Chain A
């Protein structure tokens, strides 16, 4: 841990629910990370042993779909958190991730953070309170994308009404 890292972590609104003590504890599990454009962070199925707070740059979440190649699901930018699979067993990545641009981030040791959560429930609750809003917002956004709102009427199955042309 370096004091500089703790400062970098506290600069992010993401961990606003943590007290200074909790932030300092978390910082012990953190380390600076950089990625070059095109560098892969992890692949689907790999062990989810860390998560990242993205400070600058852009990361693409993807999945290799047979016949389609690597399909990008979503891109994540500065200020967001990458990686939830460390929260739930079997702690394996469900998607892959690749840096779109040169990216700087803070990486956290997932099993260490998990041990801290188990040992200190207050810390664990604060950590979860940081993650759940992000998860909820991304789920909502994904559901809105599923509605395919920008589609033309002919591209979407309509409700049963008598159409008049317009």
Chain B
């Protein structure tokens, strides 16, 4: 803009404007995905106290269950970002504690506080012209769903899109119906479970076993990985062993967060503030930190 040359700075990620105060969105739909996971669609209120900017894939919101508390939850869909605002948000979450149990139980019409957007994005568009390999473990498929949808919305810009999914059991598999649709839309989907029941006709084994047979050009691929810490480590190592450069392997880190905005100090992982330098971090930066015990 200053006419100082052709150097292009990376696009700024959307940032919260009134970061400490939630805007109360309304639940417009609630879908139970598994026995302990729901997907909620939230809509901007008719007269919002302040505007929440649109979220980029990979970013997270601090969601408030009224009177209970607040937790960080990544967006799991593209929502409605008309006019650069978060008019509609989609979040998949699992009931593991008091706040998430309250959010999990939220019925259409109820209020949920939203603060955000916070954190770094998956930056899917930077993978244009390359193969995309997405590896999801368990609930980690939720933040990665927005990578699939972003790539499908502009399919010609990307090479192969490979999605490898690991779930605990067939009953814990998220978005099962959508996986079929994505296959038809041009995503190569492979699914495996840690433990099968008698009705399962798919693969059984660790998700890393799906990496070797996947069809992709490692030297020209970008990988997006999300799941439990240990799963991300082993997966990223296996992807690197397959030949994907570590700086093109992105993981989504998670740590305790009490503010999401860089003030509370809880989300540190060594030099990183996960709410500000993450949650999406290149494995070249994250690998050494993920290996330190109790860091």
Direct A–B touching, Cβ under 8 Å = yes
B254 to chain A, nearest CB (A): 11
For residue A104, CB closer than 8 A to chain B, the reply is no
What residues of chain B lie closer than 8 Å to A73, measured between beta carbons? 204
For residue A4, CB closer than 8 A to chain B, the reply is no
Is the CB–CB distance between A75 and B205 below 8 Å? yes
Given A69-B198, A150-B138, A74:B205 Cβ within 8 A:
yes
Number of B residues with CB within 8 Å of any CB on chain A: 39
What residues of chain A lie closer than 8 Å to B230, measured between beta carbons? 144, 147, 149
Chain A binding surface, main DSSP class: mixed
What residues of chain A lie closer than 8 Å to B201, measured between beta carbons? 100
What residues of chain B lie closer than 8 Å to A79, measured between beta carbons? 212-213
A72 to B231, CA, bound (A): 22
A77 to B206, CA, bound (A): 13
Query: Which stretch of A45-53, A87-95, A151-159 is in the interface?
Result: A151-159
Given A60-B204, A72-B196, A77-B203, A151:B231 Cβ within 8 A:
no
A48 to B200, CA, bound (A): 27
Interface string of A55-85 (1 = CB under 8 A from B): 0001010000000111111111111000000
* Chain A 89-128 residues near chain B, CB threshold 8 A: 100
What residues of chain A lie closer than 8 Å to B69, measured between beta carbons? 165-166
A54 to chain B, nearest CB (A): 10
For residue B100, CB closer than 8 A to chain A, the reply is yes
A37 to chain B, nearest CB (A): 10
Given A72-B196, A141-B205, A166-B71, A150:B137 Cβ within 8 A:
yes
Is the CB–CB distance between B96 and A153 below 8 Å? yes
Which of A70, A78, A141, A164 is within 8 Å of B213, CB to CB? Answer: A78
For residue B289, CB closer than 8 A to chain A, the reply is no
What residues of chain A lie closer than 8 Å to B95, measured between beta carbons? 152
For residue A160, CB closer than 8 A to chain B, the reply is no
Is the CB–CB distance between B204 and A74 below 8 Å? yes
Is the CB–CB distance between A166 and B256 below 8 Å? yes
Is the CB–CB distance between B228 and A150 below 8 Å? yes
A165 to B67, CA, bound (A): 13
For residue B30, CB closer than 8 A to chain A, the reply is no
Which of A69, A72, A149, A165 is within 8 Å of B98, CB to CB? Answer: A165
Given A72-B200, A75-B204, A166-B100, A150:B194 Cβ within 8 A:
yes
A109 to B196, CA, bound (A): 31
Is the CB–CB distance between B97 and A149 below 8 Å? no
A-B contacts, 7 of them at CB < 8 A, read: A72-B204, A144-B206, A145-B194, A145-B195, A149-B137, A150-B137, A166-B100
